[in-house]
Chain A
Amino acid sequence: MKEEEKNNENPLKVNRRHFFSQLSVGIGSLALGSLLIPDLFKGGGAQPLAQQPLGIPHFAPKAKRVIYLFQAGGPSQFESFDYKPTLKKRMGEDLPESIRNGQRLTGMTSGQDKFPLMPSATNFKQYGQSGAWVSDYFPHIAKIADEITVVKSMHTDAINHDPAITFFQTGSQISGRPSMGSWMSYGLGSENKNLPSFVVLTSRGKGNSQGLYSKLWSSGFLDSKHQGVMLRSGKNPVLYLNDPDGISRSDKRHLLNEVSQLNKMHHVETGDDEIESRIAQYEMAYRMQMSVPDVMDISKEPESIVKLYGEDCQVPGTYAANALQARRLAENGVRFIQLYHQGWDQHGNLPNAMAGQAKDVDQASAALVMDLKQRGMLEDTLVVWGGEFGRTNFCQGKFDPKDFGRDHHPRAFSIWMAGGGIKPGLNYGKTDEFGYNIVENPVHVHDFHATLMHAMGLDHEQMTYKYQGRRFRLTDVAGNVIKDLLA
C-alpha cells in the first residue's frame, strides 16, 4: 500500500492499538448504559402494535384519505354555524362576568372596559333533514347540510394564531412536532408511490391574513420523507417538471443512479439516515415528473365540473382551484391533502370581510363534497372544514353593527366534517345561549385528532414515535375518540 493511500484512509478506520484502547471504554459504557437504561439492548421479541411495521392501519379503516380545508385565522362561528338569537335580543349589553368567568383575553381586547354583545352580521336558516343552522354567508354549504356533521363544541388551548394553528396541526403549541399529515403518512404510508403521501395547497383570501409557515406541515422528528409537499399555487405546481432540452429520460435516470450511488457511499460512511431520505426524495421527484403534470391538469375536467366548483377553479392559486385539485390528488391516492385558505381574521370590518371570505370558500367546499359523493369517494375520504379557534361574542373596538370586529375565542367554535367514517347530517355539541361556553359534548383538539386517526384506522394511543428518550404521539397524553361522531 502506498504511503499516500494510507493517509487517505477513512478517518473512521482505526489501528489495532487505538482499537483496543477504545474498546475498554466502549464496553464499559455499554455496560453502564444497560444499567442506567434497562431496556437499552432489548431485542425485538413480541412487538407491541406501536412497533409493528408501519404503512398498515391498526384496524380496518373507514377513511383512507383526508382532505383538510383549513380556514387559517379563525372563522367566526356567529356568522357561520352557531346560531345565537340571544345575542340579538341582548345586543349591546355587556357580556356578563358570570359567562366570561375570568377567561384571558388577547392583547387586542384586554384594554376594553366594556364587552358589548354583538349579534350575527347575517341571518340564519335551518336546512335539510338535520335542521342544521347555517348563515346566509354559506348558501352552498347549506345545500349539503345533510352530508355534513357540524361540530359546534370545538375548543382549544391557545388564544393567538401561531400557537393555535401549530396546536391544530401538530398537537402541540410549540413548534417542532410532526404535523398530523406527517403522522398519517408515517403510520399509513402512501397509496400512490408516484405522489407524496402528504400534499399542501395554499390560497389567500382578501381578508386580514395570518402567516403560514412550512413548520405547519413539517415532519418534525419523523423521517423527512413524511413532510408535507407544498404545491405552488401558480401555473407550475412543481418547478422543473419538464426535462431541459437535449436531456432524455434515460439520461436523467442514469444521472440519478450515479448520484444515488454516491449518496449510498456517503450513508455507509456517516450512517446518517437523512441521506436515505434524500435518495428517496430524488426518486420521488423523478416519478412525480411523470405523474404530477397529469394529476394537476385541470383542463381535462369537463365543463359541468368547472361550473360546479365555480368559474374560479380555472384560476390557479384560488381556493376553488385548490379544492378541485384536492379531489384530483385524492383520486390519485394522496393520503393527506391539506388546503390552507388565509384571511379569516376579522378584528374589524367583519360583515364585509367575512362575506368575502365565505364567498371564496363556500361553493367550492360544498362542490368538493358533492363531487366526492358522486364518485363514491366520500365513502372513504374524510373532509374537514374549520379554523384554529372561534371569535368572541362581543365586539372588538367601537360598537357599530354595520362595521365591527370580533377577537379570538378559544372556548367554543364550529367546524364541519363529511365523509369517511363520520356520521352525516349530525349537529354535534352545544354552546350556551351566548355562544361563549360549551354546555354539551365538548370536543377538544386532541379529541378531534384522536377521532380523525380512528377514522383512518389508527389507534392514537398506539401511534407513537420514540425520540429523545420518550415516546411522542399526536394527541400527547390526552384525546378521546368521539364515538358519537362515527358512522
Chain B
Amino acid sequence: MTRILKNRWVDYAILGLSVFLIFCLIFDAYIELPNLVAWLGRWHPLILHFPIVLLLIAVFLGLTGKKVPDQLLVVAVLSALVTAISGFFLGKETPVKGDLLFWHQWLGGGLALVASLWYVLANRGLSGTVYTKVLQVVMVGLVAVTGHYGGMVTHGEEFLALPTTKKEKEIPENPVIYADVVTTILDDKCVSCHNPNKKKGELLMTNLEELLKGGESGQTLIPGDPIKSQLISRLHLPTEDEEHMPPEGKAPLTQNEIEILERWVALGASDTLRFDQLPKSEPLVVLVKDLMEPKAESKWEKLPVVADSTLQNLASDYLTIERMAANSNALSVDVYLPPEYAAEPIIALERIAANIVELDLSGLPIGTVEMDFVSKCQNLEWLEIDKTPVTDAEVKKLETLKNLRLLKVYETSITDKSIAVFKNAQSLKNLYIWKTDISQSALESFKNEKPGLSINYGINPEIEAFFVASDSVAVSK
C-alpha cells in the first residue's frame, strides 16, 4: 500500500462524492440548481473521456492479473464520480427527461458507484479476488452502454446505429405533406438536437403541437407566415450566423428541403394536407415530386465501374459513348450511320453492356446480331430502334430487358405480335409505334389494357388535318 492510500482525505472525498451522487439521483425532482452549478454541468462532455479511458485501463490490468497502480485507481474513481455529478447537473437543463437520458443518467451514476465499490474492495485487500473480477466485468459493460446512450443523446438515436440500417423512408404515392414529408426532413436534420433527451433552445420538434408551442426564442412556427417563423428564417441566415440552423458541423438542409418547409408553412402548416389536394401550379408539388423520385444517380450506383480508356477504345466518329453524369458509370450510347455499315463496333460494346442505360440505334440497318447484343444490356432504360429493319422476331428479344422505360420502334414493320412483348414490359412508360404494321384494333385494346403507358401513335389526326389545311392564318387588316 502506497503513501497516497494512507491519506484518509482520498477516502473521504470518494465517500463524500458517492453520497452526494446518490442523493442527487434520488432527489432529482426536488433539486434546483444555482446558475454557477448548472454551468459546471456544461463541462460534462469534456471530462467524461477521462474515466472511460482510465477505468478501461484499470480493468484491463485487473483482468489480466496485473497489479492496478493505486494512483490510477484513485484518479479513475474520482474522475468517474465528478463526471457523473457534472452529468447530472447538465441533465437538469432538460426539464422532461426522455428514455435515453434517463438510462444514461442511471447507468452513468451506477458506473461511478461501482467504481467506488472497487476502490473500497481494493483498500480492503480484496483486489484480485473473484468479487473484483465480477465488478470489473460489470464496469466494462456499463462503460459501453453508458457511452452508447450518451452518444445517442448528443448526436441523435441514429448516430450509433449501424450505417447499413440507415432507413430510406419511402414516401407513399399520395403523401400527407406533414406526416410523410415534413417530419422526414425534421427527423433527418433537426430532431437530433430537439428531442426529449436534448431539448436545445427549449424546443421540441418531434410533433406539430410542440413546434407550434415554440421554444426559448418565441414562436418557431407561425402558420401562413414563413418569414416570421423562425423555423424558416433561421434556415435562410448565412451559415456563419450564430442563429443559423442547423448549427455549423451538422448536415445542412438542401435547397429543396428548405423550400418544402417554407411552402408548407406558407400554406398554413397543416397536418392533414395531402399531396393531391394541392393545385397543379403550387410549387410544393414539384418540390415534393422531386423528393419522391429516386435520384437517377443513386439508381445507377451499383453499376460496374468502367474506365474512360475503355470508352475511348470503343468509341469512334460514328459511335458516341457518354457518361450520363459526372462520376456516373451509367452510359448513353449513340450510333450513327457510317458510310460503310458493320455490326462489329456495336457487338464490341458487349463488355460494357451492363453499363448502357440509353442506346440509340435508330436509322441503322440492324438485324439479329445487334438485337442479341441489345437483349444483353440488362440495365437499358431507353432504347431507340426506330427506322430500322427490325421485325417482331427481333422485338421479342427485348423481353429480357426489365428496366426498359422508353422504347422507340416507329417506322418499322412490326405487327400485332409485338404487342405481347410491350404488354409484359413492366417498367415501360413511353412507347412510340407510329408507322408500323400494328392494326388499329389491336392498338385500341392494348391502350385499354395498359392505361399507365403513354403510347404515341403519331400526331393527333384532328390537329394534323388543321396543320395540313392550307393558309389558316387570320391576317387582320
Please list the residues of chain B having a beta carbon within 8 angstroms of any beta carbon in chain A: 259, 281, 283, 286-287, 290, 295-297, 308, 316-318, 320, 322-328, 330, 334, 336-337, 339, 362, 384, 386, 406, 408, 410, 430, 432, 434, 456, 458-459, 463-464, 466-468, 470, 472-477
- CB-CB under 8 A from A355, the residues of chain B are 473-476
With the chains together, A287 CA to B339 CA distance in Å? 11
Given A192-B320, A367-B467, 20 additional A-B pairs, CB 8 A: A57-B324, A140-B472, A143-B467, A190-B320, A193-B320, A194-B317, A333-B336, A352-B475, A363-B467, A366-B467, A373-B456, A375-B410, A375-B432, A376-B384, A376-B406, A376-B430, A376-B456, A423-B286, A457-B325, A484-B286
Is the beta-carbon distance between A57 and B430 smaller than 8 angstroms?
Answer: no
Q: Which 9 A-B pairs have the closest CB atoms?
A: A60-B296, A376-B432, A355-B475, A307-B468, A193-B317, A359-B473, A376-B408, A60-B325, A56-B326
Is the beta-carbon distance between A333 and B334 smaller than 8 angstroms?
Answer: yes
With the chains together, A362 CA to B472 CA distance in Å? 10
Is the beta-carbon distance between A60 and B297 smaller than 8 angstroms?
Answer: yes
Decide yes or no whether A10 CB sits under 8 A from chain B.
no
With the chains together, A61 CA to B432 CA distance in Å? 21
Is the beta-carbon distance between A191 and B473 smaller than 8 angstroms?
Answer: no
Is the beta-carbon distance between A144 and B320 smaller than 8 angstroms?
Answer: no
Decide yes or no whether A150 CB sits under 8 A from chain B.
no
- CB-CB under 8 A from B466, the residues of chain A are 139-140, 143
- CB-CB under 8 A from A363, the residues of chain B are 467
Report the minimal beta-carbon distance from B432 to chain A, rounded to whole angstroms: 4
Report the minimal beta-carbon distance from A414 to chain B, rounded to whole angstroms: 17
Chain A: interface residue count, which band?
Answer: 35 or more
Is the beta-carbon distance between A374 and B432 smaller than 8 angstroms?
Answer: yes
Is the beta-carbon distance between A486 and B286 smaller than 8 angstroms?
Answer: yes
With the chains together, A294 CA to B316 CA distance in Å? 19
Is the beta-carbon distance between B320 and A49 smaller than 8 angstroms?
Answer: no
With the chains together, A143 CA to B318 CA distance in Å? 38
Residue-wise, chain A 476-487 has the 8 Å CB interface mask toward B (1 for contact) of: 000000011010
Is the beta-carbon distance between B317 and A139 smaller than 8 angstroms?
Answer: no
Q: Which of B308, B334, B475 has the most CB of A within 10 A?
A: B475
Is the beta-carbon distance between B323 and A379 smaller than 8 angstroms?
Answer: no
27 A-B pairs within 8 Å (CB atoms) are namely A49-B326, A55-B322, A56-B326, A58-B325, A59-B325, A60-B295, A60-B297, A61-B325, A122-B474, A193-B316, A194-B317, A304-B468, A308-B464, A308-B468, A331-B362, A351-B476, A355-B473, A355-B475, A355-B476, A363-B467, A366-B467, A370-B463, A376-B430, A376-B456, A379-B430, A457-B325, A486-B286
Tell me which of B295, B320, B324, B475 contacts A333 (CB under 8 A): B320
Tell me which of B322, B458, B459 contacts A56 (CB under 8 A): B322
Name the interface residues of A58-78: CB closer than 8 Å to any CB of B.
58-61
With the chains together, A273 CA to B426 CA distance in Å? 51
Number of residue pairs across A and B with beta carbons under 8 Å? 134
Tell me which of A140, A352, A374, A379 contacts B406 (CB under 8 A): A379
Please list the residues of chain A having a beta carbon within 8 angstroms of any beta carbon in chain B: 49, 52-53, 55-61, 121-122, 136-137, 139-140, 143-144, 189-194, 287, 290-291, 294, 304, 307-308, 310-311, 331-333, 351-352, 355-356, 358-359, 362-363, 366-367, 370-371, 373-376, 379, 423, 426, 457, 483-484, 486
- CB-CB under 8 A from B259, the residues of chain A are 483
B432's nearest neighbour on chain A, judged by CB, is: A376
Report the minimal beta-carbon distance from B241 to chain A, rounded to whole angstroms: 21
A136's nearest neighbour on chain B, judged by CB, is: B474
Known: A58-B325, A191-B322, A193-B317. A122 touches B467 (CB 8 A): no
With the chains together, A194 CA to B337 CA distance in Å? 10
- CB-CB under 8 A from B281, the residues of chain A are 426, 484
With the chains together, A304 CA to B474 CA distance in Å? 24
With the chains together, A308 CA to B461 CA distance in Å? 11
Q: Which of A53, A121, A192 has the most CB of B within 10 A?
A: A192
Tell me which of A61, A290, A307, A374 contacts B456 (CB under 8 A): A374
- CB-CB under 8 A from B320, the residues of chain A are 190-193, 333
A425's nearest neighbour on chain B, judged by CB, is: B280
- CB-CB under 8 A from B408, the residues of chain A are 375-376
Is the beta-carbon distance between A122 and B432 smaller than 8 angstroms?
Answer: no
B456's nearest neighbour on chain A, judged by CB, is: A374
- CB-CB under 8 A from A358, the residues of chain B are 473
With the chains together, A294 CA to B336 CA distance in Å? 12
Tell me which of B316, B384, B476 contacts A122 (CB under 8 A): B476
Known: A61-B325, A457-B325. A140 touches B467 (CB 8 A): yes
With the chains together, A382 CA to B259 CA distance in Å? 26
- CB-CB under 8 A from B473, the residues of chain A are 137, 139, 355, 358-359, 362
